[in-house]
Structure formats: structure tokens, C-alpha cells
Amino acid sequence: MCIRPGLAAVFGFLPALLSVAVHAEAPGRVPSPAPPLAWPPGFSRNVQGTGVPGLDGGHAFLWNQPPGFDPASTLRVDRHIPEGSGEPGHTYKALWALGSSGPHNAGYEWTITGELHNRSLASTGAQNVAVNGTIFKEPNGIGAVGPSWAGNFNCVDMTQEADPVASCIGAEIDVSAQSPTTDRNRQRVGLQISTGGLPGAHTGYGILLGNLAGSVTDRGFSFQGEGTYGIGIDTAAARFTGAPILLGSGQSIALDGNRDGRFARRLGFDGRDLVYGTGNGPVLRVSDGGQIQAASVREASPQPPKSSREACTPGDHAWDAAFEYRCVAPNRWKRAALSDW
């Protein structure tokens, strides 16, 4: 059989390759372990994962403490989407933490936990943040920039439970004061919302609650618990160009609500009059013209004039055990005697 020189060179390697294959899979022999992947330059060996730049499907534990404190970020993911590189509607994630819990899991599962033990002095002016989400909305020179959320937290209840026994909370913010001392500077804040950015800058809404058509939010804002609150809603320090509290026609303020959201007395505007009422209907009406309709009127502290020339304004009224008094002109009283029947 004649073998061409080129083919002879190729077939010359076959015995060696077959020998390695047979040797690796021979019975009773343990395959030699694959050599470890080389760590990329500058990649921390504290990262337990694939051994290649970036984290993809592996476990990672990043530990940064003195000595050898690294002033740079413990983990930083830089992701830049090139122009025209993606498909419309696709979502790009710089860091994605995916977790799942079982029905009999007795633990508490967090996909991302930010814990910072702060011991810095307040005089340094440092802002120590456990988790910080910032997005810079910048002009692109082409057109309007798309919407931006600095933080987006979703709790989607897909259980179809008619009366769920466990909470579904979009965002929970707990501030725990571990000492009962009074905070005169009001530095323990549950939620602080600062808007504007620069003097004269205009922000559309401080807090916006919105519902989809047909959906219902049971409580817009609710204060719950057995604790005591100083002021429910405080607008004293603010400057409003309109009404501090704005209600539409037909809306009212409840005056004796309880924790269940029930109440019996309300004050509101029915589109025509200012109305105070109970569950049985209106009790007091005040029109824009000043007309008052009330079930009854009682003067608890009448102050009858000492003379017919005592200072008064037309319309003032008073009484005592003998007379009814009426101011008919500036500083001019008249009276009518009262008698039994």
C-alpha cells in the first residue's frame, strides 16, 4: 500500500493519540486531573468561581478587610452597551442575582445583602451607605432620554390567594433606634426624599402613587402600630403655591377613623357646600355665600351688651334671661323682652 508523504505525516501521530486515549480510559486507572485554569492578572483569588474574568454561574465570596485593605471597590462590574448592539425591548443586566427557596425552607433568603458596620466619626462628613443605587440621566445629543429608575423593587404576587397570610412588600425600610433617648435633631429618619437638585430646579412629584385602571390600593398612606406619633402630616415648614392638602369634589376627611379604616364622621365638599356629616347624613352645611344650615344652634357663652351704645357690628347677637339683643347698626343695639307662655 502506498501512502503519500503528507498523509504519512498525519497518520504518524495516530499511534500516540490512540495510546493516550486508551491509557486514559483503561480499567482501573484514574484519569489525570485537568490542569487548573490560570488566574487572570489582577484577579483576586478570594473569588471562587470559574477562574475567568467575570462571574458566570459560579460561587463568589469577596472579602476585603485590614490588613491589606483595598481602597477600590471589592467588586465592580463595568458594562457599556455599544451603539446599536442590542434588540429593542431587551433588558441588559450588569449584575444579576438569582435565588430560589423551597416550600419547607425555614431560613431567610436574600439575593443581595448590603451590610456596613459604620464606626466613622460624624465630623468627617462621610456618607456611609449599605446599598446605593444611582443612575445618571444624561443627554445623548439625539433625542429625549428614556425613563430612569435609581432603584426598582418589585413584589409580584402570583399565588392567587384570595386572602394572603404573608406580606408582599415592594420596598421595606426599617430604622431601628437601639436606645430610648430622644432624637432632638431628628436624625433617625425612616424615609427621606430630597428633590430639586439645584435652586430653581423643578421636580414633578415628591411622592407619586399610581394605580392601573381597575386596580385598588387599600391605603394610600397608613400609620400603624401601637407607637405614638407626634404629628401625622406636617406642612408647617413648607411653602406651597397651592393647597397643602388637595381634595377633589366629593372627597372628604374622616375625623374618627380606627385601625380597620372605619369611621362615622367626615368633613368634605360635596360640589356645592362644605359639609360635616355622620353616617345618618349631613349635620352642618356652609355655602360659598356664607349661608349656614344646621340642625340647631346654641350660644354657650352669650355676652349681652351693658348698654344700647356698646361696640358691636351689625348682625351680632346675644341674650340673657330677660332679653334677646341684636346689633342693627355699628355700635347700636336693640332688644326684645322674653316672656313665659
Distance from C-alpha of 256 to C-alpha of 283, rounded to nearest angstrom:
16
Q: 46: which DSSP letter?
A: T
Strand partners, 332: 329
Distance from C-alpha of 283 to C-alpha of 268, rounded to nearest angstrom:
12
Residue 50: predicted pLDDT: 42
What ranges do the domains of the chain cover? 250-297, 299-341
Q: How distant, in Å, are the alpha carbons of 39, 233, 268 from that of 262?
A: 65, 20, 16
SS3 label, residue 124: helix
Residue in this structure with the C-alpha cell 390567594, named with its chain if needed: 161
Distance from C-alpha of 293 to C-alpha of 296, rounded to nearest angstrom:
9
Rg value, the chain, Cα = 38
Distance from C-alpha of 253 to C-alpha of 247, rounded to nearest angstrom:
9
Helices H / strands E in the chain, number of each: 2, 8
Amino acid symbol at 103: P
Distance from C-alpha of 34 to C-alpha of 37, rounded to nearest angstrom:
9
Is-contact 305 333, C-beta < 8 A? yes
Residue 107: predicted pLDDT: 79
Distance from C-alpha of 37 to C-alpha of 45, rounded to nearest angstrom:
12
Closest CA to 196 of 187, 205, 183: 205
Residue 111: predicted pLDDT: 86
Distance from C-alpha of 257 to C-alpha of 267, rounded to nearest angstrom:
12
Strand partners, 277: 266, 282
Residue 325: predicted pLDDT: 97
Q: What is the dihedral of CA 63, 66, 70, 76, to 10 degrees?
A: 20
Is-contact 284 296, C-beta < 8 A? no
Mean pLDDT per block of 10 residues along the chain (341 residues) reads 35 31 46 57 45 48 66 74 69 78 83 87 86 91 92 91 91 89 87 88 91 91 85 92 93 92 95 94 94 90 94 95 96 96 93
Work out the number of other CB atoms within 10 angstroms of the CB of residue 305: 18
Is-contact 327 315, C-beta < 8 A? yes
C-alpha cell belonging to residue 319 = 341674650
Amino acid symbol at 224: Q
